[in-house]
Chain A
Amino acid sequence: MHHVVLERWSRGASFLHARDARVKVLVLLTYLVALATTTPITPTAVAGYAALVAAASVAARLPLGGVALRAAAVLPFAGTFALFSVLAGDGARAVSLVSKSYLSAAAVLTLAGTTPLPKLVRGLESLGVPRFLTLVIQFLHRYLFVISEQAQHMRLAALARGGGRLRLTHAAGAAATLFGRSYARAEGIHGAMLARGFHGRMELLAEARLGPADVLFLLAGVAAATALRVAVGAAA
């Protein structure tokens, strides 16, 4: 499951893992804005932006292949819209849609793979993201584990009783059961959180403090993304 792998990645110990979440979010935002505003996007620009993400992944000791593979999760969505563009005779827009979506997903994955979720959420909150949104992110993340765990239990139970490939007729029933079981489990977890005083905010043991390395990383990250944007803009 993607989120289990991301959780494992995020608990690494590289230079990037140690950086303050707020700084990483700001660098990511700069990168995304630079990428989104690069129009038209040339193969050189794609290569430049891809090199930046790859450099970050390597610095974070994340598996490059793993990041590349997981970023492909956006392709079915981006591909659908790209297909419409191709049909409308706008091939350049199709290339732009697919490449930008894919590179954005890879960059977001690099952030998520180097920042444990509680820290990421606190970083987002201190950058002004509304509490309601960060709460939704926290619960979504926690319950993704619940749903995947329940799905694995059901799969094992089916295999143990000789079930093989899931037939379409069974899929709807299985989905309903999965929802019911996940809901009950999620209620249990929510109860356990309330029982220990949860009041809508995940407090952290280590309060984030900006250090010189964080400031340096911020300056270097923003400068790299901006320089690349200017360079590919000038070349185009």
Chain B
Amino acid sequence: MNGQPIIEIRGLRYRYDTGTLALDGVDFQLFPGETVALLGPNGSGKTTFALHLNGLLRGEGFLSVCGLAMENQNLAEIRRKVGLVFQDSDEQLFMPSVLEDVAFGPLSAGRTAEEAREIALAALDQAGMRYAADKAPYHLSAGEKKRVAVAGVLAMNPEVLVLDEPTTFLDPPAQRDLVALLARLEQSKVLITHDAGLARALASRAVFFERGKIAADGPVEEVVERFHWDAAPPTVPAAAQT
């Protein structure tokens, strides 16, 4: 791989207040320019793991991003370096207009209003959403919301993008547009998905989560085959066909 890992995690454990052990000793590395797909059943710990990558959850174990250990004094810098695109865009878009929402990150990072506006417009251009700059986020389609959410993260100029089920709620054309957008972005990516096709299209490596542990880590095709993770075409059992 290309030099030092951009994210390094050793022995990560996290238990929710309810007592559920969501992560049980996870070791993980992400290298510059790499896209890794996180696969695994519902509740296997993928999203919990993703929330650790920019310090929204803090478990036990070692975690460093771009050489910064996950400690309180590094938290702001780590959150700037790791952009998190949430599964539900409605959670991510909270400002009254698209432009204000995309500018939220740069403004919070201390940029002036003028700089933040330019950065936000550039990010909207990158995501193909400049035409919606003055619209209210809740007037956009699901595909447009997702692209604005990506723009909001790009505006922070992150080194790593973490995308949680990015194609959920999107129709096939919107999925294709989003995949084309993500493929153009140079950042390292961590992609949580149930869609083996999406993993193949964007990732070179896949990590398979099972009960809070990494059960496999290797080329996408190998991992998908080993866990039979390709969606089978829907079939109706013969007995039910009357």
**Residues of A in contact with B (beta carbons under 8 Å apart):** 7, 11, 116-118, 142, 149, 185, 188-189, 191-199, 203-207
- Say which size band chain B's interface belongs to: 20 to 34
Q: Does B136 contact A (CB under 8 A)?
A: yes
Known: A11-B136, A192-B86, A207-B113. A197 touches B156 (CB 8 A): yes
A142 adjacent to B94 (CB under 8 Å):
yes
Our pick among B90, B99, B108 for the contact of A196 (Cβ within 8 Å) is B108
Q: How many A-B residue pairs have CB under 8 A?
A: 71
A192 adjacent to B113 (CB under 8 Å):
no
A195 adjacent to B84 (CB under 8 Å):
yes
A118 / chain B contacts, CB cutoff of 8 Å: 95-96, 100
CB distance from A45 to the nearest CB of B (A): 37
B90 / chain A contacts, CB cutoff of 8 Å: 149
A207 to B180, CA, bound (A): 36
B171 / chain A contacts, CB cutoff of 8 Å: none
A194 to B108, CA, bound (A): 10
A196 to B152, CA, bound (A): 8
Q: Does B109 contact A (CB under 8 A)?
A: yes
A206 adjacent to B104 (CB under 8 Å):
no
A7 / chain B contacts, CB cutoff of 8 Å: 96
CB distance from A227 to the nearest CB of B (A): 35
B116 adjacent to A188 (CB under 8 Å):
no
Q: Does B51 contact A (CB under 8 A)?
A: yes
**Residues of B in contact with A (beta carbons under 8 Å apart):** 51, 54, 56, 76, 79-80, 83-84, 86, 88, 90-92, 94-96, 99-100, 103-105, 107-109, 113, 116-117, 120, 136, 152-153, 156
B56 / chain A contacts, CB cutoff of 8 Å: 191, 194-195
A205 adjacent to B79 (CB under 8 Å):
no
Known: A11-B136, A188-B86, A207-B113. A197 touches B105 (CB 8 A): yes
A195 / chain B contacts, CB cutoff of 8 Å: 54, 56, 79, 83-84, 86
B92 adjacent to A203 (CB under 8 Å):
no
Name the prevailing secondary structure of the B interface residues: helix
Interchain residue pairs A-B with the least CB separation, the first 3: A203-B107, A197-B108, A188-B91
A119 to B200, CA, bound (A): 45
| Residue ID in chain A nearest B109 by CB atoms | A197
B100 / chain A contacts, CB cutoff of 8 Å: 118, 204-205
B51 / chain A contacts, CB cutoff of 8 Å: 191
A204 adjacent to B113 (CB under 8 Å):
yes
Determine which residue in A191, A195, A206, A207 has the highest number of CB atoms from chain B within 10 A of its CB, and name it. Answer: A195
23 contacts between A and B (CB under 8 A): A118-B96, A149-B90, A185-B91, A188-B91, A191-B56, A192-B84, A192-B86, A192-B94, A193-B94, A195-B54, A195-B79, A196-B79, A196-B153, A197-B79, A199-B76, A203-B104, A203-B107, A204-B100, A205-B99, A205-B113, A205-B117, A205-B120, A206-B113
Supply 6 further A-B pairs (C-beta < 8 A) apart from A11-B96, A11-B136, A196-B108: A188-B88, A189-B91, A191-B91, A197-B108, A197-B109, A204-B107
A142 / chain B contacts, CB cutoff of 8 Å: 94
A116 to B101, CA, bound (A): 14
A196 / chain B contacts, CB cutoff of 8 Å: 79, 104-105, 108, 152-153, 156
A198 to B91, CA, bound (A): 14
A189 to B84, CA, bound (A): 12
CB distance from B96 to the nearest CB of A (A): 5
A7 to B139, CA, bound (A): 13
CB distance from B196 to the nearest CB of A (A): 27
A142 to B96, CA, bound (A): 10
Determine which residue in A189, A193, A196, A197 has the highest number of CB atoms from chain B within 10 A of its CB, and name it. Answer: A196
CB distance from A228 to the nearest CB of B (A): 34
Determine which residue in A185, A194, A197, A204 has the highest number of CB atoms from chain B within 10 A of its CB, and name it. Answer: A197
B80 / chain A contacts, CB cutoff of 8 Å: 197
B120 / chain A contacts, CB cutoff of 8 Å: 205
B109 / chain A contacts, CB cutoff of 8 Å: 197
Known: A205-B107, A206-B113. A192 touches B79 (CB 8 A): no
A11 / chain B contacts, CB cutoff of 8 Å: 96, 136
CB distance from B143 to the nearest CB of A (A): 19
CB distance from A214 to the nearest CB of B (A): 18
| Residue ID in chain A nearest B89 by CB atoms | A192
A29 to B152, CA, bound (A): 37
| Residue ID in chain A nearest B53 by CB atoms | A195
A205 adjacent to B108 (CB under 8 Å):
no
B156 / chain A contacts, CB cutoff of 8 Å: 196-197
